[in-house]
Amino acid sequence: AQRVTQPEKLLSVFKGAPVELKCNYSYSGSPELFWYVQYSRQRLQLLLRHISRESIKGFTADLNKGETSFHLKKPFAQEEDSAMYYCALRPGNNAGNMLTFGGGTRLMVKP
Amino acid sequence: GAVVSQHPSRVICKSGTSVKIECRSLDFQATTMFWYRQFPKQSLMLMATSNEGSKATYEQGVEKDKFLINHASLTLSTLTVTSAHPEDSSFYICSATPPAGAVEAFFGQGTRLTVV
């Protein structure tokens, strides 16, 4: 069975500081990894996925299969980045498979 | 992007009553929808996979007779919490993925259930 671990429940940084939200996973096959974000009083929404190798809102995440990690990074945090961030894994490449979520990390960006 | 609508967003019910939560995909058809549950300060836990036209697949430890799932059409799945108890109080979220090779899952806004 797959598992996703986000070791930090809360991460607090000052505006302009770099931020890294950690995510480690365990899965025997080839996973798809995602980062979802939930802003205050809004629904969960996709931030980025590893297969597209894109940068969204200044965030990037690289899948490191050797370390089984998918850490989310941003060089200069902004106050509007404050939100709950969830790392998620989906087995294989079937969109019909369910997502397994990490415990989530609350990011607080202080002015 | 695609929209998934969940209703109601908040409900309070008495112990022993049943509550129905609806999940609709507004602009796409979803043969599969997922129901998640989130306890305070915890992660989203998959409860069941809802399949249009067939029985739902429940995760281990989830009582299928308590959490009734009906996926009667390609745009609607319902979760009914039967004989609710205070320990069923939680945040319930559904998600759906458009077909035809889509990758992204879209989430409803969630339903906060409080059983008193």
Summarised one tens digit per residue, pLDDT across range A51-89 is 777 888 999 998 998 999 999 999 999 999 999 999 999
Neighboring chain B residues of A43 at a CB cutoff of 8 Å: 93, 107-110
8 Å CB contact of B110 and A96: no
- Taking the CA of residue B75 as centre, how many other CA atoms within 13 Å lie in the half-sphere pointing to its CB? 8
Measured CA to CA, the distance from residue B5 to residue A43 in angstroms comes to: 10
* Cα of A86 to nearest chain B Cα, Å: 8
Q: Which residues lie across from B21 on neighbouring strands? A: B79
Classify B97 as helix, strand or coil: coil
Averaged pLDDT for residues A6-24: 96
Do B93 and B36 form a contact (C-beta atoms < 8 A)?
Answer: yes
Across residues B87-103, what is the average pLDDT?
83
pLDDT at B38 over 70: yes
pLDDT in the model for residue A12: 97
| Interface check A31 vs B, CB under 8 A | no
Decide if B93 and A101 are in contact by the 8 Å CB cutoff.
no
Query: How many beta-carbon pairs below 8 A join chains A and B?
Result: 48
